[in-house]
Amino acid sequence: MRYQPILAALLLTIPAHCLTAEPASVPEGIELKVSLGTKDGKYSITPNDLTFERGKYYKLVIHNPSSEDHYFTSDAFATHVFTRKVEVTDGSGKTIAEVHGAVNDLELKPGATVAWYFYPMTKGEKLHLFCHKEGHEAKGMTGSISIVGPPPFSN
Ligand SMILES: [Cu+2]
């Protein structure tokens, strides 16, 4: 009992933001969906021409509906965005992992879905997007990503 005031004093020294989870007001992000391959085995990235606006917050949901592994690869894109996290979900849509840090290559197993949360930071025109699995780019798994708009934090 005599330690209670000490404990209370200690708790008061902890900044409030350390005690609470992320506020519910964190935006979900502008959602875009991309498919790597198709159910019937076509080698495509759909849509394959993506455009993002600087300073906005995005949730890019990448899904592989096919029966083989595919990559979402764009070395240039990684240097143009700030990645907040990549969420990996299980079959029921429950998050089973979060990956933090710069991302430039994702491999998705058949049926897998990930959500990439990021802020586009610097302008980019037709940044190369492809699947680097052998032969897949030549078969059609290619695309481009553009980042447009005024610089973030400019007004
Ligand atoms: Cu592929």
* 90 Cα–ligand 1 center, Å: 21
pLDDT at 32: 97
Ligand 1 centre distance from Cα of residue 120 (Å): 25
Q: Is the pLDDT of residue 24 over 90?
A: no
For tokens 């995005």, name the residue.
58
Domains of the chain: 27-148 (2.60.40.420)
pLDDT (0 to 100) of residue 7: 52
Hey, is 152 helix, strand or coil? coil
Q: How many A from CA of 143 to the centre of ligand 1?
A: 12
- Specify whether the CB–CB gap between 85 and 129 falls below 8 A: no
Going from the Cα of 85 to the center of ligand 1, the distance in angstroms, rounded, reads 23
pLDDT in tens, 101-141: 888 899 999 999 999 999 999 999 999 999 999 999 999 99
Query: How far is the centre of ligand 1, averaged over its atoms, from the C-alpha of 131 (Å)?
Result: 5
**pTM recorded for the entire structure:** 0.80
Model confidence at 142: pLDDT above 70? yes
Q: What is the DSSP letter of 101?
A: S
Q: What is the pLDDT of residues 50-76, one digit of tens each?
A: 999 998 999 999 999 999 999 999 999
Q: How confident is the model at residue 21 (pLDDT cuts 50, 70, 90)?
A: low
Nearest CA among 71, 66, 63 for reference residue 135: 71
> Could you tell me which of 79, 84, 23 has the C-alpha nearest to residue 59?
84
- pLDDT digits 0-9 by tens, 75-86: 999 899 999 999
**pLDDT interval class at 2 (50, 70, 90):** low
Contacts (Cβ under 8 Å, ≥6 apart) of 56: 30, 119, 120, 149
Q: CA–CA separation, 8 vs 27, rounded Å?
A: 33
